[in-house]
Structure 1
Amino acid sequence: MQRAMEAHTPDWLVVMDDDGRPEPGGLAAFHAMGQSGALAHWDAVAAAVYFPSGEICEMNRPSRNPFWSLSHFLSTARKGRDGFHIPRRAYDGGLSAIDVTSFVGFFISAAAVRRVGYPDPKLFIYGDDALYTLGLSAAGGRICFAADVRFEHDFSTFSNGDSGQRFRPLWKVYYHHRNLLLLYRQAAGWLFWPVLLLILPKWILKVRHHPGVRRAYLRLTWLAVRDGLLRRLGRSHGEVLAEARE
């Protein structure tokens, strides 16, 4: 993003993972928003992201911050994840206001980049997109989900019937948990501490999905929680890889 801003004079940037790509017509749908004048109302646009199989990619489903709205908070208490993520019917068409999204098919205006700066490279992987877009929303930025702007994410961290529970490769455990703590802290404010008491047991129980590497899973989770609480982002990737060895 910084290279694009420094080397060119863009009106908008689009960000995607190396295993993400626009579906045919996806970029044309974004350009159509500009031609219709719809982009004038937004600082950023999130694409509708699907697996190659055509199913909605859950990890890229945008959300509202439940701690900024009583209705979203109560809905989250009742429904869990479905309470604060946009409903699946939003994928049928139209635009929806959101607070948080991923970097798979994320369009952001150059004006918004100049306002809030760049993602923190020390986060490396996981959560950098959510922290960045939540920060944009907190700064008054307007983000929408556009159902007609479709992207594909050939995502394979969780595979072979893992149901989103087993990390492959294992070292991703550290970044996932550490950065989620940073995100929860930014999103929840003073409610972060009771939230922490709810999520830590869930993370520890996921050790059952990692036979053969359970000690390494627990070790990485402990380091992630400690570094996340202390807001330490200086641990090298080499150290993380060493801790991931059983």
Structure 2
Amino acid sequence: MRSAPVTTLAAVIVTYNRLDALRQTLSRVLDEAVDRVHVVDNASTDGTADWLAAQDDPRLRVLQLSENGGGAGGFTAGLEAAMGGADPAAWCVLFDDDAWPQPGTFERFRRDAADLDPDATGPGALGALAAAVSYPNGTVCEMNRPNLNPFWHAPVLARTLLGGRSQFKVTDADLAPTAPPRSLDVASFVGFFVSRGAVRGLGLRPEAGLFLYGDDVLYSLRLRRAGLRMELWPQLRFTHDCGTMGEGFVYRPLWKIYYHCRNGVQIAREAAGPIVFPAALAYYTLVWWRRGRCCSPESRSLYRRMMWEGLRDGLRGHRGRNDRLHGTVLAPARPNR
């Protein structure tokens, strides 16, 4: 028997054409101490809508979108549903359809967050918490490893210039279940707990037009710029059974690098500020270019093409789904959320 809730917690899950994964995730989530579960269906075509309509758990809320808005559009809609209206949740936790809380995570959150004010918006108030995320085999999920913004911390920037990107990421020791909480600047939308004060009090919303990738990074940076704190609570544990990243941090399928680079332009601008932005973007571009070497020779030219198109459109401020990309060059490929 679950203990009485100390604060209302709503889960927001975004899904697109991954019914098998959603079945497993939703089953695990509904076994946890959660008040509401908002599933955002990004116009799936694989029977997801019919399956969701047949579920009868009273905590389940289904938001059926008329078109695929990507992860960014899905999380924006889901957060609005969970935090809007007359009965907003005190906290929301965001994650994909191939991720789930490890047993007891939500109960631990309720216990450890019992004394937090979910409506606090003053300087230094805690506005977001990040869980430690691992693959099903227990190793750290690299794409969900939280980090600091090196441009806001001179010692971290110096270490990064000398030792590379790993210097601003949290360590494996920081992610151990018994490690203490620590401050963050950036966390991913897998096991991302956000307060009602951040969403309703300060009006912080994800940028839906990003479509795919970078929405969580930009949201984190804007939350921190608003004066709220963000912390890693490693006692909160999530599993992410993702196949998005291939060798060398190259996305699969390759069209995703377009969104990574397009939205990365805005990330570089917000992270570095207007003066340092050109140098930061040049650094990121070099990193992306080098990653292309991990592609097979026959796919390397496509990778580089997607990279340059993303950079161009990012500098032009383009947003939304690139229908030309999906409708012509990569017609067989479909976004995975």
The CA distance in 2 between the partners of 1:151 and 1:39, in whole Å, is 24
Partner in structure 1 of residue 309 of structure 2: 223
Task: Kindly provide the CA deviation profile for residues 44-76 of structure 1, in whole angstroms up to 9, marking residues without a partner as x.
Answer: 110000110100111111111111111111121
Partner in structure 2 of residue 24 of structure 1: 103
**Is 2:191 the counterpart of 1:105?**
yes
Aligned residues: 241
**Is 2:276 the counterpart of 1:191?**
yes
1:38: how far off?
5.4
Give matches, 1:196-215, under 5 Å.
Answer: 196-208=281-293, 209-215=295-301
Question: What secondary structure does 1:63 align onto?
Answer: coil
**Is 2:252 the counterpart of 1:168?**
yes
More displaced 10-residue stretch of structure 1: 7-16 or 130-139: 7-16
The CA distance in 2 between the partners of 1:149 and 1:21, in whole Å, is 11
The CA distance in 2 between the partners of 1:204 and 1:56, in whole Å, is 25
Amino acid paired to 2:98? D
The 8 Å contact of residues 289 and 304 in structure 2, kept in 1 or not, is answered as yes
Q: CA RMSD in A?
A: 2.0
- Return the match for 1:127 from 199, 203, 214: 214
Percent of aligned pairs with the same amino acid: 38
Partner in structure 2 of residue 157 of structure 1: 244
The 8 Å contact of residues 220 and 244 in structure 1, kept in 2 or not, is answered as no
The 8 Å contact of residues 249 and 291 in structure 2, kept in 1 or not, is answered as no
The CA distance in 2 between the partners of 1:50 and 1:202, in whole Å, is 24
- Structure 1 runs not aligned, ≥5 long: none
The CA distance in 2 between the partners of 1:196 and 1:42, in whole Å, is 30
More helix by share: 1
Amino acid paired to 1:126? Y
Question: What secondary structure does 2:96 align onto?
Answer: coil
Task: Kindly provide the CA deviation profile for residues 91-145 of structure 1, in whole angstroms up to 9, marking residues without a partner as x.
Answer: 2321001111100000011111121421111111110000001100011011100
Over 3 Å counting, the alpha-carbon distance change for 1:191 and 1:2 in structure 2 is same
More displaced 10-residue stretch of structure 1: 48-57 or 212-221: 212-221
The CA distance in 1 between the partners of 2:282 and 2:298, in whole Å, is 27
Q: Choose 1 or 2 for highest CA Rg.
A: 2
1:222: how far off?
1.4
- Return the match for 1:145 from 232, 239, 242: 232
Task: Kindly provide the CA deviation profile for residues 162-213 of structure 1, in whole angstroms up to 9, marking residues without a partner as x.
Answer: 2423x31121011111111211111011212112222323323433314323
Partner in structure 2 of residue 3 of structure 1: 81
Task: Kindly provide the CA deviation profile for residues 211-246 of structure 1, in whole angstroms up to 9, marking residues without a partner as x.
Answer: 323332222111100111122114x43212223479
The CA distance in 1 between the partners of 2:109 and 2:142, in whole Å, is 22
The 8 Å contact of residues 217 and 244 in structure 1, kept in 2 or not, is answered as no
Report the TM-score, using the length of structure 1 for normalisation: 0.90
- Return the match for 1:88 from 157, 160, 172: 172
Over 3 Å counting, the alpha-carbon distance change for 1:185 and 1:48 in structure 2 is same
Report the TM-score, using the length of structure 2 for normalisation: 0.67
The CA distance in 2 between the partners of 1:177 and 1:210, in whole Å, is 20
1:79: how far off?
2.4
Partner in structure 2 of residue 239 of structure 1: 324
The CA distance in 2 between the partners of 1:134 and 1:154, in whole Å, is 26
